[in-house]
Amino acid sequence: MQLLGRDIAAGTSARFAFTPDRTYEASYLNMPVFVARGIAAGPTLCLTAGVHGDELNGVEIARRAFSSIDPSVLRGTVIALPAINAEGVRTGNRYLSDRRDLNRAFPGSAGGSVARLIAHLVFTEVLVHCDALVDLHTASNERTNLPQIRADISDPEIRELAIHFGTGIVIAGKGPEGSLRREAAVTHRGRDTNPLADEGIRPLDPWYVLEFKRPGIQNGVYRKLKQGRYPAEARLDLHRMSVARARREIYEFVNECHGLGLRSVLIVHGKG
């Protein structure tokens, strides 16, 4: 995996600055970046905090959460940006020096205000790698809030993620326009990382044999596999599934089996 010009090898973690420059302009982007890449393939989770410079609890939570990660047992990748509004965190100010709210500037643009520039770079350089996002906030202006999740639960994936936190309060909603969580969700919905085709699939004859053997696999091993002489460690049955659902189920099944290190699995295809 390559992030911000750095290669992150499997089973390793790294901490570095978003930009190595020490110019005045770069000080707005001099936020810490933490990356842990697991030894096994899997999804990428992004943790963000400090979008508002006076909300510091999330900054420490993101740091502690990352510090507890062991890449040798991690499946997938965790990217933490614990102080996106680096200037605000350093000065204790909620907003940027131009009084703009960074959490209303996403996804940003390459031109315009400082807020829009920071938002654009975070989106295009980091969040493009993420499959899920958790944006941490803290009660501001000396208020006290109960622990809560704010999420667009009309999206099934976001709803499932919110439920897994086990927090008693979930506030449903897409979030304000320009907020990090809202724009990240919109961008994620428009991205399909599944490489399996779902269009132009040519029907096969019932007696057609579809097989593939990667170079290096011994013929004897492959023959035993076809004969069913290796016990299946996991099984997926595609009967009664639509093409769209089968495409999704196969992709998730293979990813999960790969992450668990399973060597022999069985997929039963449906009819038609």
Question: What percentage of residues in the chain have a pLDDT greater than 70?
Answer: 93
**Range picked from 126-130, 148-152, 192-196 for highest mean pLDDT:** 148-152
What would the pLDDT profile of 130-155 be if each residue is shown by its tens digit? 989 999 999 988 888 899 999 998 88
pLDDT score at 200: 64
CA distances from 75 to 78, 97, 132, 158, 234 (A): 9, 39, 14, 20, 18
Following CA atoms 15, 16, 17, 22 in sequence, which dihedral angle do they give, to the nearest 10 degrees?
150
Whether residue 250 has pLDDT greater than 90: no
- pLDDT higher than 80, residue 199: no
Average pLDDT value for residue range 166-188 = 90
Please tell me the predicted confidence (pLDDT) of residue 24.
66
Residue 45 pLDDT = 94
Residue 272 clears pLDDT 50, i.e. is over it = no
Torsion of CA 235, 239, 242, 248, to 10 degrees: 0
CA distance 118 to 83: 12
Q: Where are the alpha helices (DSSP H) in the chain?
A: 57-67, 86-91, 114-125, 156-163, 180-189, 219-226, 243-260
Q: What is the model's pLDDT at position 32?
A: 94
The answer to whether 131 and 44 are in contact (CB under 8 A) is: yes
What are the structure tokens assigned to 260, written together? Answer: 């668990």
Dmax (CA) for the chain in angstroms is 71
Residue 132's alpha-carbon distances to 53, 144, 248, in angstroms, are 23, 27, 17
For the entire predicted model, the pTM comes to: 0.70
pLDDT tens digits along 38-81: 988 888 999 999 999 999 999 999 999 999 999 999 989 999 99
What number is the average pLDDT over the span 221-247? 86
Give the contacts of 18 (CB within 8 A, at least 6 positions apart). 4, 29, 30, 31, 32, 33, 81, 121, 125
Count of residues in the chain: 272
95-125 core/surface letters (b: 16 or more CB in 10 A; e: else): bbeeebbbbbbbbbeeeeebbbbbbbbbbeb
pLDDT per residue as tens digits for the range 209-220: 778 888 888 999
What's the average model confidence in pLDDT over 106-112? 88
DSSP states of 226-242 as a string?
HTT-S--SEEEE-TT--
Q: Which amino acid is at 266?
A: L
Looking up tokens 């961008």 gives: 187
